[in-house]
Amino acid sequence: MSRPQLEVADIIRSAGAGFIARNRHWLRWAHLKVLLAIARCRTAALGGHIDECSRCGHRAISYNSCRNRHCPRCQTGARERWIAARRRELLPTPYVHVVFTLPAPLARLALQNKKLIYGLLLRTSAETLLEVARDPRHLGAEIGFFSVLHTWNQKLSVHPHVRFPGKLASLAYHKTFAAWLRLRFRKDWVVYAKPPFGGPEYVLQYLGRYTHRVAISNHRLVSFTKGQVTFRWRDSAHNNEQKLLTLSLDEFLRRFLLHLLPKGFVRIRNFGFLANRRRAILLPLCFHLLGAAQQPQVDQDTAASNDLWCCPKCGGPMVVVERLTAAEIQLRSPPMLTAA
């Protein structure tokens, strides 16, 4: 895929300082850290390395990535590494995609209690699947699966610390919260199960679109002019028609930052026979019972080669021959984005 003409990093570098100055009243260090990381990603500010073509000897300098999990640029490589690791775990059996959608009234509560609510969502949905699958009236078996948290829709709105600010302040009282919660129990959850996938390999191609996504990819951005950001979105209510949405810079970045995950929060979790404590024993047993051979584990050298880029001169593989600090590069100044 070709490099997009406009990136989230370009928007932050050009107008991030003004956004920070105007929104100090709600921005926290976690927000600033992500903005700074994205702005500096693959620039001289983070240092870099000299790559040399193993075929023709052509040399080029590459800047280091920020490796922040909210950076649109950095997630492509992470996704490919994750897919490579999961490929050897694919069983020769049909797979089903199940979606649990958090009821809309809980969305505002989740924003103020991300770690708690998102953790509950992942745990309770997993326990539901395990309980239903174990029931002899349904499957009567132990299943294995992984869950991926997804918190946004195409317009970057919320689609899913115990604090109750603003309109939720009254929920801080136990009786009020209990009454509010009783109404939620009366509402049926939306649970959607897709038909079995075409095959195990298709599973990875499909899920790769979701596992390491951030709120918006760079390829959806169209323009940034006069303080307005325009991006593409897919209208699922009208046959997935591609449309354009224009937001002010502050609203665009506000929506983007709504989807930052709490520090240390794990958004991809494994359950059943794929749980981390059980897969080493149970996964080989599954392959044996299905009469299939598990793919050999890819070594580190082979995995690392997937991250190499090709020589622009002859197409040969580029390899790192020297590491450089930011001071050593001095090819251009770091982006001017500060919290001061």
Supply the pTM of this predicted model.
Answer: 0.80
Q: Has residue 314 got a pLDDT over 60?
A: yes
DSSP state string for 214-261:
-SS-GGGEEEEETTEEEEEEEEGGGTTEEEEEEEEHHHHHHHHHTTPP
Whether 92 contacts 221, CB under 8 Å: no
Q: What is the pLDDT of residue 297?
A: 67
Q: What is the pLDDT of residues 173-207, one digit of tens each?
A: 778 878 878 887 877 777 888 777 677 778 777 77
How distant is the alpha carbon of residue 182 from its chain centre? 33
The pLDDT tens digits of the residues spanning 95-132 come to 888 888 888 778 778 888 899 999 999 999 999 999 99
Of the listed ranges 54-63, 262-271, 326-335, the one predicted with least confidence: 326-335
34-50 pLDDT, tens per residue?
999 999 999 989 999 88
pLDDT of residue 168: 65
Task: Identify the pLDDT of residue 162.
Answer: 40
Lowest mean pLDDT, pick from 58-62, 135-139, 179-183: 179-183
Query: Comparing 70 with 3, which gets the higher pLDDT?
Result: 70
CB-count exposure of residue 81 (10 Å: 0-12, 13-18, 19+): middle
pLDDT, position 238: 85
- What's the mean per-residue pLDDT of the chain? 84
What residues form DSSP beta bridges with 241? 235
**pLDDT over threshold 50, residue 20:** yes
- At residue 94 the predicted structure's pLDDT band, cuts being 50, 70 and 90, is confident
Q: Which amino acid is at 247?
A: L
Residue with the bigger pLDDT between 14 and 180: it is 14
The C-alpha atoms of residue 180 and residue 328 are separated, in whole angstroms, by 59
User: What's the pLDDT score for residue 285?
Assistant: 93
Would you give the DSSP letter of residue 53?
A: E
